[in-house]
Amino acid sequence: MRFSKSLALLAAQSSVTVAQTNSTNSTTVPYLPLSADDHFSFILYEALSLANGGGSSTGEVMRATAKIVAGDTESFYNEFKFLGDSVHDIAESINATKFPVSAREAYFRASSYYRLSVFYMTANQSDPRLYSVWDSALADFDKAISLTEVRGERMTIKGPGFDIPIIYWKSPKAAGCGPVPTVLVGSGYDAPQEDTYHSIGREIIDRGWNFVTYEGPGQPTVRRQQGLGFIPNWWDVVTPVVDYLETRPEVDKKRIALGGLSFGGILAPLAATREHRFAAVLAIDGVQNLQTTALKQFPPALAQLYNSGNKTVFDAYLNKARVNPEANTMFKWFIGQGLWSFATESPYDWFTRLGGINLDGTVLSNITSPVFVGKGEDDKVAGGQEEVVAKLLGDKAYLYEFKTALGAGEHCQLGAEQQLAQVSLDWLAEVFEAVK
């Protein structure tokens, strides 16, 4: 699940107001609606897309879709929790020694369904399910990666004042041919690192490279286990991981790439402005500043209220809006997730800090490696920011537009992950080949 994908719905519904009810149709999105609630439809589509990398089953997701009541977040929780529990029980019933593939695939799906079930729970930060169900998701994912042909290894790296959880997949090619390229990938605003394995991780491993994921402050597990919100100095998250990677004998130190998905498309380039050991950076997609995007999609009165600097009134307005039963799901989630991921109770504080995570020309001029800038043709959230980022990067940028006609025009190529991998990783392979 990716924040900026969800924000695309806010862009499509440019007249969002506190009093707006959930849409009775989903004509604002370019794919077949899965719910009368636009935001539910979007997240259910994300659930389906996980199937491309073994993270869900279309039949299981579609059954949950048929049972979920539009706009009812408890219904959303109940149906995916039911799927998580049921598929977990199946996994537990399998003799994993005799049938490791069957057990692995069931554990992967159960883990995804547990993660999906608590997607809307961030609106109530004291809800115990936000934590207990997450623990179930992590446990099942760990069981799954212990059964993969290329085993995933979970470990913790020490950062400056926080711990950085990573998952490391060592390429089997490294044993026979020495050090191999390594791709370090970070997720975004609300997606966990576990999702990344299903979206692009298997494709990286299939190319014979080491694959590593990580999370920093504000991201799902770090936020839960350490209580930390997003920070603007993202290099402090990435640099300790690179330090660790350079100690691994199977890592080709000259061929390490950093990727970022969704909000990670800002975080990865931001880290690369200070951390210069990367052969390349993947910004999928190339967003520059999410606060800027959101302000353009806010109702004019709300944007004016924020720009006035009146923190007290802005806080009161959004805190009232996010509990208003008449407000649409997207709007309520947008506020609740922002407060959660920045570990604050003040909407003004969250939104101001969001604006501080920014890629301008001065910042981007510090990047020394080539940057793949992805763009979805139908990506409303970026609003042309991909072209701005590419222009500011100059000859260091490679801008690629994914086409809606081929089902790849959504932000981060949701549902067309194979196309994303083909284009971005083939580009990356050529970059690796050119490294001396």
3-state helix, strand, coil in the chain (%, to 5): 55, 10, 35
Share of the chain above pLDDT 70, in %: 92
Over the chain, what is the mean pLDDT?
A: 91
Q: Round to whole Å and give the CA distance between 146 and 150.
A: 9
Least confident of 269-278, 408-417, 426-435: 408-417
* Whether pLDDT at 18 is above 60: no
* Whether pLDDT at 231 is above 60: yes
Q: Round to whole Å and give the CA distance between 268 and 285.
A: 11
pLDDT at res. 11: 39
Q: Summarize the confidence of residues 170-196 as an average pLDDT.
A: 92
DSSP 211: E
pLDDT digits (tens, 9 = 90+) for 39-87: 999 899 999 999 999 999 999 999 999 999 999 999 999 999 999 999 9
Those residues with Cβ within 8 angstroms of residue 249's Cβ, 6 or more apart along the chain or in another chain: 179
Query: If pLDDT is split at 50, 70 and 90, which confidence band does 31 have?
Result: low
Q: Which CATH number fits domain 149-289+357-436: 3.40.50.1820, 3.40.50.970, 3.10.560.10, 3.90.105.10?
A: 3.40.50.1820
pLDDT at res. 298: 84
Query: If pLDDT is split at 50, 70 and 90, which confidence band does 9 have?
Result: very low
Q: Summarize the confidence of residues 426-432 as an average pLDDT.
A: 98
pLDDT at res. 175: 73
Residue type, 381: V
Least confident of 88-102, 249-263, 301-315, 373-387: 373-387
pLDDT at res. 20: 36
Query: If pLDDT is split at 50, 70 and 90, which confidence band does 425 have?
Result: very high
CATH number of 31-148: 1.20.1440.110
pLDDT at res. 25: 36
Q: Round to whole Å and give the CA distance between 13 and 330.
A: 10
Query: If pLDDT is split at 50, 70 and 90, which confidence band does 30 have?
Result: low
Per the CB < 8 A criterion, the answer to whether 223 and 202 are in contact is no
pLDDT at res. 136: 98
Instruction: Pick the more confident residue, 23 or 138.
Output: 138
Q: 367 phi and psi, to 5 degrees?
A: -75, 135
Instruction: Pick the more confident residue, 245 or 299.
Output: 245
Q: Round to whole Å and give the CA distance between 45 and 400.
A: 23
- Domains of the chain: which residue ranges? 31-148, 149-289+357-436
Query: If pLDDT is split at 50, 70 and 90, which confidence band does 160 have?
Result: very high
Query: If pLDDT is split at 50, 70 and 90, which confidence band does 16 have?
Result: very low
Q: Summarize the confidence of residues 149-158 as an average pLDDT.
A: 96
As a three-state string, the secondary structure of 25-80 is CCCCCCCCCCCCCHHHHHHHHHHHHHHHHCCCCHHHHHHHHHHCCCCCHHHHHHHH
* Whether pLDDT at 32 is above 60: yes
Q: Summarize the confidence of residues 199-222 as an average pLDDT.
A: 97
pLDDT at res. 12: 39
pLDDT at res. 409: 86
Q: What's the pTM?
A: 0.92
pLDDT digits (tens, 9 = 90+) for 310-330: 999 999 999 999 999 888 898
Q: Summarize the confidence of residues 6-28 as an average pLDDT.
A: 38
Tokens of residue 418, six digits: 């194979």
* Whether pLDDT at 27 is above 60: no
Cα–Cα distances (Å) from 169 to 145, 156, 382, 428, in that order, read: 9, 14, 31, 18
